[in-house]
Structure 1
Amino acid sequence: MSQKLLVRRAAVLGAGVMGAQIAAHLTNAGIDTVLFDLPAKDGDPNGIVRKAIANLGKLSPAPLASKTLADAITPANYDQDLTLLAGCDLIIEAIAERMDWKQDLYKKIAPHVPAHAILASNTSGLGIDALASVLPEELRHRFCGVHFFNPPRYMHLAELIPASTTEPAVLDQLEAFLTTQLGKGVVRAKDTPNFIGNRIGVFSILSVIHHTRQFGLGFDEVDALTGPLLGRPKSATYRTSDVVGLDTMAHVIKTMADTLPQDPWHGYFQSPDWLQALIAKGALGQKTGAGIFRKVGKDILVLDLDKQDYRVADRGATPEVVEILKLKNPAEKFAKLRESPHPQAQFLWACFRDLFHYSAYHLADIADTARDVDLAIRWGYGWAQGPFETWQSAGWSQVAQWISEDIAAGKAMSSAALPAWVSARDGVHTAEGSYSPSRNAVLPRSSLPVYRRQRFPDPVLGERFAPGETVFENDGVRMWHDGDDIAVVSFKTKIHTVSGAVLDGLQEAITRAERDFAGLVIWQPKEPFSAGADLAGALGALQAGKLAEFEAMVANFQATSQRIKYSLVPVVAAVRGLALGGGCEFQMHSAKTVAHLESYIGLVEAGVGLLPAGGGLKELAVRASQAVGPGGDVFAELKKVFETVAMAKVSNSAVNAKELGLLRAGDTVAFNAYELLHIAKSEARALAEAGYRPPLPARRIQVAGDVGIATFRMLLVNMLEGRFISEYDYEIADRIATVLCGGDIDRGAIVDEDWLLKLERKHFVELAQQEKTQARIAHMLKTGKPLRN
Structure 2
Amino acid sequence: MKRTIKKVAVIGSGIMGSAIACHFANIGVEVILLDIVPRELNEHEKKKGLSLENKTVRNRIVNEALKNALKSKPSPIYHQEFAKRIQTGNLEDDIELVNQVDWIIEVVVERLDIKKQVFDNIEKHRKPGTLITSNTSGIPIKFMNEGRSEDFQQHFCGTHFFNPPRYLRLFEIIPGPNTKPEVIAFLNEYGKKFLGKKSVIAKDTPAFIGNRIGIFSIMSLFHIVKEMDMTIEEVDKLTGPVIGRQKSATFRTVDVVGLDTLVHVANGLYENVPHDEQHELFKLPDFIKTMMENNWLGSKTGQGFYKKEKKKDGSSEIKSLDLNTLEYRDRKRASFATLELTKTIDRVADRFEVLIKGKDKAGEFYRKNFAALFAYVSNRIPEITDELYKIDDAMQAGFGWEHGPFQIWDAIGVEKGIKMMAEQGIQPANWVNEMLEAGYDSFYTVKDGNTYFYDIPNKKMQQVPGQDAFIILDNIRDAKAVFKNSGVIVEDLGDGILNVEFRSKMNSIGGDVLDGLNKAIDLAEKEYQGLVVANNGQNFSVGANIGMIFMMAVEQEYDELNMAIKYFQDTMMRMRYSSIPTVAAPHNMTLGGGCELSLHADKVVAHAETYIGLVEFGVGVIPGGGGSKEMTLRAADTYQKDDVELNRLREHFLTIGMAKVSTSAYEAYDLNILQPGKDIVVVNKDRQLAIAKKQALLMAENAYTQPIKRQDIKVLGKQALGAFYVGTDQMLAGNYISEHDKKIANKLAYVMAGGDLSAATKVSEQYLLDLEREAFLSLTGERKTLERLQHMLKKGKPLRN
When normalised by structure 2's length, the TM-score is 0.90
Q: How far has the Cα of 1:333 moved from its partner? A: 4.1
Identity score, percent: 37
Q: Distance in 1 between matches of 2:423 and 2:771?
A: 73
Contact 2:367 2:420 in 1 (8 A): no
Conserved 8 A contact 1:622-1:698: no
Q: Please tell me whether the aligned partners of residues 630 and 702 of structure 1 are also in contact (alpha carbons under 8 angstroms).
A: no
1:376 aligned residue (371, 394, 408): 394
Q: What is the match of residue 443 of structure 1?
A: 462
Q: Does structure 1 residue 431 correspond to structure 2 residue 437? A: no
- Residue 429 of structure 1, CA deviation: 0.9
Q: Does 1:780 align with 2:792?
A: yes
Preserved CA contact (<8 Å) 2:635 2:652: no
1:684-717 deviation line (CA, Å, top 9, x unaligned): 2233333333554433322232122222223322
CA separation of 1:554/1:419 partners in 2, compared to 1, >3 Å: closer, same or farther? closer
8 Å CA contact 1:634–1:703 kept in 2: the answer is: no
Residues 1-36 of structure 1, C-alpha deviation per residue, up to 9 Å, x if partnerless?
33xx42212222211111111111221222222222
1:36–1:530 Cα change, 3 Å: same
User: Which residue of the partner structure matches residue 764 of structure 2?
Assistant: 752
Alignment: residue pair count: 766
Could you give the per-residue CA deviations for residues 70-116 of structure 1, whole angstroms, max 9, x where no partner exists? 33321122111223222322222222211221122112112333334
Distance in 2 (alpha carbons) for counterparts of 1:211 and 1:469: 44
Q: What is the alpha-carbon distance in structure 1 between the residues aligned to residue 634 and residue 341 of structure 2?
A: 55
1:614-693 aligned within 5 A? 614-629=625-640, 632-666=643-677, 667-693=679-705
CA separation of 1:471/1:396 partners in 2, compared to 1, >3 Å: closer, same or farther? closer
Please give the residue correspondences for 1:387-406 in structure 2 after superposition, counting only pairs within 5 Å: 387-404=405-422, 406=424
| Contact 1:596–1:676 (Cα < 8 Å) also in 2 | yes
Which blocks of at least 5 consecutive residues in structure 2 are unaligned?
Answer: 40-51, 311-315, 447-451
Residue range with higher mean Cα deviation, 345-354 or 147-156: 345-354
Residue aligning to 1:39 = 37
Change over 3 Å in CA distance of 1:776–1:309 after alignment to 2: closer
Give the structure 1 partner of residue 551 of structure 2: 540
**Paired residue for 1:152?**
165
The one-character-per-residue Cα deviations of 1:303-334 (angstroms, maximum 9, x if unpaired) are 335434322232635x3564688796745643
Structure 1 pair 642–206 and aligned structure 2 pair: CA distance change class (3 A): same
The answer to whether residue 84 in structure 2 is matched with residue 71 in structure 1 is: yes
Kept after mapping to 1: 8 A contact 2:28/2:85: no
> Structure 1 residues 456 and 729 mapped into 2: Cα distance closer, same or farther (>3 Å)?
same
Deviation at 1:590, TM superposition (A): 1.6
Match of 2:19 among 14, 18, 21: 21
Question: Where does residue 257 of structure 2 map in the other structure?
Answer: 244
Corresponding letter in the other structure for 1:749: T
Letter in 2 for 1:722: G
- Which of 99, 117, 123 is 1:86 aligned to? 99
Q: Which residue of 2 aligns with 1:57?
A: 70
2:138 equivalent in structure 1:
125
Q: Residue 605 of structure 2 contacts residue 691 of structure 2 at CA under 8 Å; is this kept in 1?
A: yes
Matches of 2:525 and 2:421, distance apart in 1: 59
Letter aligned with residue 17 of structure 1 = I
Distance 1:649 1:741 in 2: 20
Checking the alignment, whether the CA contact within 8 Å between 2:498 and 2:524 is kept in structure 1 is yes
From 494, 512, 524, the equivalent of 1:513 is 524
Aligned to 1:453: 469
Q: Which segments of 5 or more consecutive residues in structure 1 lack a partner in the other structure? A: none
Displacement of 1:211:
2.7
Alignment of 1:464-479 (within 5 A): 464-465=475-476, 467=478, 469-473=480-484, 476-479=487-490
Name 1:498's counterpart in structure 2: 509
Say if 1:106 and 1:134, in contact at 8 Å, map to a contact too: no
Whichever residue aligns with residue 613 of structure 2, its letter is G
Asked if 2 retains the 8 angstrom alpha-carbon contact of 1:591 and 1:694, the reply is no
Q: CA deviation at 1:128?
A: 1.6
List aligned pairs for 1:572-591, cutoff 5 A.
572-591=583-602
How many Å apart are 1:441 and its aligned residue?
A: 4.3
Q: Distance in 1 between matches of 2:516 and 2:261?
A: 52
**Partner Cα distance (1:704, 1:125) in 2:** 63
Match 1:723 to one of 708, 712, 735: 735
SS at match of 1:610: coil
1:101 aligns with 2:101: no
Residue 99 and residue 706 in structure 1: after superposition, are their counterparts in 2 closer, same or farther (change >3 A)? same
Q: Equivalent residue for 1:563?
A: 574
The 8 Å contact of residues 566 and 695 in structure 1, kept in 2 or not, is answered as yes
1:283 aligns to 2:267 (yes or no):
no
Please give the residue correspondences for 1:223-242 in structure 2 after superposition, counting only pairs within 5 Å: 223-242=236-255
CA spacing shift, 1:705–1:40, aligned 2, 3 Å: farther
Q: Is the 8 A contact 1:640 1:661 kept in 2?
A: no
Q: 2:445 is aligned with what amino acid? A: A
Assess, with a 3 A threshold, how the Cα gap between structure 1 residues 467 and 37 changes in structure 2: closer, same or farther. Answer: farther
User: Contact 1:364 / 1:436 at 8 angstroms: preserved in 2?
Assistant: no
Contact residue 173 and residue 188 of structure 2 kept, 8 A: yes
Aligned CA RMSD, in angstroms, stands at 2.6
Q: Is the 8 A contact 1:388 1:428 kept in 2?
A: no
Q: 1:584, CA displacement in angstroms? A: 1.1
Indicate the larger mover: 350-359 or 612-621: 350-359
What is the CA deviation profile of residues 228-283 of structure 1, one whole-angstrom value per residue up to 9, with x for unaligned ones?
34433232322222222122122111211222122233233333343333333333
SS in 1 for 2:494: coil
Change (3 A) 1:518 1:229: closer
Determine if contact 1:528/1:579 at 8 Å carries over to the other structure: yes
Residue 137 of structure 1: how far off its partner (Å): 0.5
Deviation string 1:352-387 (CA, Å, 9 cap, x unpaired) is: 332222222222101122211122112222223322
Q: Secondary structure at the match of 2:704?
A: coil
CA change 1:236–1:586 in 2 (3 A) is: closer
Please tell me whether residue 135 in structure 1 is matched to residue 148 in structure 2.
yes
Q: What amino acid does structure 2 have at the position aligned with 1:685?
A: L
Give the counterpart letter for 1:431 in structure 2: T
* Aligned partners of 1:189 and 1:368 also within 8 Å: no
Structure 1's 387 and 498: CA in aligned 2 closer, same or farther, altered over 3 A? closer
CA deviation vs aligned residue, 1:481-519 (integer Å, no higher than 9, x gap):
233133323334333333334334434433443443332
CA 1:740–1:336 in structure 2 vs 1: closer, same or farther (change >3 Å)?
Answer: closer
| Bigger mean CA offset, 293-302 vs 186-195 | 293-302
CA offset at residue 473 of structure 1?
4.7
2:48 corresponds in structure 1 to none
Contact 1:301 1:312 (8 Å CA) reproduced: yes
Quote the Cα distance in structure 2 between the aligned partners of 1:332 and 1:731. Answer: 49
Tell me, in whole angstroms, the C-alpha distance in 2 between the residues paired with 1:543 and 1:311. Answer: 41
Q: Which residue of 2 aligns with 1:334?
A: 356
1:370–1:428 Cα contact (<8 Å) kept: no
Q: Tell me how far apart the structure 2 counterparts of residues 564 and 226 of structure 1 sit (CA, whole Å).
A: 40
Corresponding letter in the other structure for 1:54: K
d(CA) in 1 for partners of 2:761 and 2:184? 61
- On the 8 A contact 1:218/1:315 being kept in 2, the answer is no
Q: Taking structure 1 as the reference length, what is the TM-score of the superposition?
A: 0.91
Task: Show the counterpart of 1:739.
Answer: 751
Provide the C-alpha distance between the structure 1 equivalents of 2:256 and 2:444, rounded to a whole number of angstroms. 36
Structure 1 letter corresponding to 2:63: R
Q: Cα deviations across residues 419-454 of structure 1 (Å, max 9, x unaligned)?
A: 3223323355131632344554443201x4xx3221
CA distance in 2, matches of 1:336, 1:287: 37
